[in-house]
Amino acid sequence: MPKRYLTSNEGAPVTNDQQSLSVGQRGPILLEDTVFLEKISHFDRERIPERVLHAKGAGAFGFFRPYNSLASLTKADFLQDPEKVTPVFVRFSLAGGSLGGADTVRDIRGFSVKFYTDEGNYDIVGNHIPVFPLRDPIQFPDLVHALKPDPVTNVRGGPIAASRFWDFMSLRPESINFLTYLFADNGTVKSYRTIPGYGVNTYKWINMRGEEVYVKYHWEPCAGVEYIDSKTAAMLAGTDPDIARRDLFDTIAAGQQVEFELRIQIMNVDDECEQPFDPLDSTNIWPEDLLPIRPVGKMVLNKNPDNFFVDVEQAAFSPAAIVPGIEFSNDKILQGRIFAYGDTQRYRLGVNYLALPTNMPRKPADNKMQDGAMQTMYNEGVANYLPNTLGGGTPMPAPVIGKPAQNHIAGCIVRKEIGGDIYYQAGFRYRTMSAMQKKHLVANIVENLSQAYEPIQRRMVEHFLRTDSELGRRIAQGINLMI
Ligand code: HEM
């Protein structure tokens, strides 16, 4: 092996980066000590902003393969042929906590998948809870503010945190379905290998004939679904706060594969208004008895990141990253997400974030966007504009593949709350739980809600009573509230 010698970031030989250059042994240090100045100033800039949410995560590389051709439903190139293997990168995360949080706390787990397809990157940025607490993305900053530590003390837990959380949720009761997942054992997890993933939002698939269907994504862990109870979660948060991150890394390092099956639910676009629930409302699941779930492919994770910061921290997922054959629905939450991710990533990572190793599409980008901080690509030639003749007219507009869908939207411009029932699915879910699941759900809510101020408790119990009278009564009893 050739010998490796220390250099500066300019590549110049460095003979000593352990002792600073000083007047005599005891200083002062000279301003001309470029070795010291470079080392310390690079260190001073090691941290980048953490994600505004989903800050703590773990990732792995692997591949995806469909079981059969899905050509009848979508023209997406990576779903046409069961022989086609598409590389993926996956990041699991905790939604609410910050970088130093514990892996087992009650929280939403993020489940983001980047498919490096031959037609560009396709991201499914999902969660491990199938529903979302809101119906309108303009409320998202309020939700995150209410979940994060308060702006006065920045303290997690305790009466102020509980009051802020339940204050918000009780005034946004469309969150109730989501709360029945978060406060069940689903909310406490010790391994990313055993959680499901859900796209939550509704997307559209379009085939070569221009026919569209609505689609919902589900990831099923092949190792089976496993949650832990709140006592185990609290204990592990103290003794092994990185347990889920370590478990994923160690499993793959030991040569074992981590596998998930991709399953979908499909709905004809024309049936949207025929359903007994609003299929584009992210607070709802699509009931499986009405819209069956079908397996369509398998994802295998088999390679750990070579460097956490480069591969995982700098990863940028976005629901806006779609490929031909996949489109957005009018789901308002999805519409809001289309903007938010790229916007925050331009701030968090810089405008050239898609040129970073994990984010770079395997099919090279070719357009006339240029420059900006940290640009490393060379724009070829003088014709940095379109249309041109000096650059041979390239790149040319990509050909349209297949027949495009015909969509027409008309309506009055309003700022209006989306209506619709908010209690039915949550109540149904409670009534179909086992006695043990009900007990844990009630105990977990009681533990948290009991810390909130009384008028907020009262408002929240009203919503639980409307969800299911038994659920509401058990919670009221648990927190000693007369109803
Ligand atoms: C109004 C709705 C939403 C908005 C505005 C929003 C916005 C954001 C933002 C700004 C980030 C940080 C991204 C980054 O720094 O790279 C993020 C991360 C994330 N969001 Fe959302 N989000 C919304 C809803 C959802 C929903 C419904 C899901 C699940 C289906 C979801 C799943 C995630 C995940 C998994 C991450 C972490 C991505 C990663 O691993 O890097 N979000 N979100």
Residue with CA at minimum distance from ligand 1 atom 16: 316
Residue 379 confidence class, pLDDT cut points 50, 70, 90: confident
Per the prediction, the chain carries an average pLDDT of 97
The pLDDT assigned to 96 comes to 95
How do the domains of the chain map onto residue ranges? 1-46, 56-134+172-355, 424-478
Residue 341 assigned to a binding site:
yes
Q: Is-catalytic flag, 54?
A: yes
Over residues 7-25, mean pLDDT:
97
- Mean pLDDT along residues 387-414: 93
Helical (H) or strand (E) element with 113? strand 109-117
CB 440 within 8 A of CB 157: no
Mean pLDDT throughout 210-223? 98
Fold of 1-46: Cytochrome C Oxidase; Chain J (4.10.91)
* Ligand 1 pocket list (CB less than 6 A): 51-54, 57, 91, 93, 110, 112, 125-127, 132, 137, 140, 200-201, 282, 315-317, 333, 336-337, 340-341, 344-345, 348
Residue of 16, 121, 127, 448 marked active site = 127
Least confident of 79-83, 123-127, 397-401: 397-401
d(CA 139, CA 10): 47
SS (H, E, C) 153-191: CCCCCHHHHHHHHHHHHHHCHHHHHHHHHHCCHHHCCCC
Closest-lying ligand 1 atom to the alpha carbon of residue 348: 15
Question: What average pLDDT does range 280-295 have in this prediction?
Answer: 97
Q: What's the pLDDT score for residue 19?
A: 97
Q: Which whole number is the average pLDDT over 122-127?
A: 98
Ligand 1 center from residue 151 Cα (angstroms) = 22
Tell me, what's the pLDDT at 259?
Answer: 98
pLDDT of residue 380: 81
- Give the burial string for 406-445 (b: 16+ CB within 10 Å, else e): eeeeeeeeeeeeeeeebbebbbebbeeeeeebbebbbbbb
Kindly tell me if the per-residue pLDDT of 406 is higher than 90.
no
% of the chain exceeding 70 in pLDDT: 100
pLDDT grade, residue 466 (50/70/90)? very high
Say if residue 423's pLDDT is above 90. Answer: yes
The residue among 482, 479, 475 whose CA lies nearest residue 183 is 475
CATH topology match: 1-46 vs 56-134+172-355: no
* Spatial distance between the Cα atoms of 269 and 211, rounded to a whole number of angstroms: 9
Reported confidence tier of residue 483, pLDDT bands at 50, 70, 90: confident
- Judge whether residue 1 has pLDDT over 90: no
Q: What is the pLDDT of residues 168-199, one digit of tens each?
A: 999 999 999 999 999 999 999 999 999 999 99
Catalytic (active site) residue 463: no
Q: Is the pLDDT of residue 285 over 90?
A: yes
**In which band, very low, low, confident or very high, does the pLDDT at 155 lie, cut at 50, 70 and 90?**
very high
Q: Which two tokens stand for residue 192?
A: 């990313």
Q: CATH for 56-134+172-355?
A: 2.40.180.10
| Span from the CA of 142 to the centroid of ligand 1 (angstroms) | 14
Separation of CA 86 and ligand 1 centre (Å): 23
- Is the separation of the CB atoms in 237 and 282 below 8 Å? no
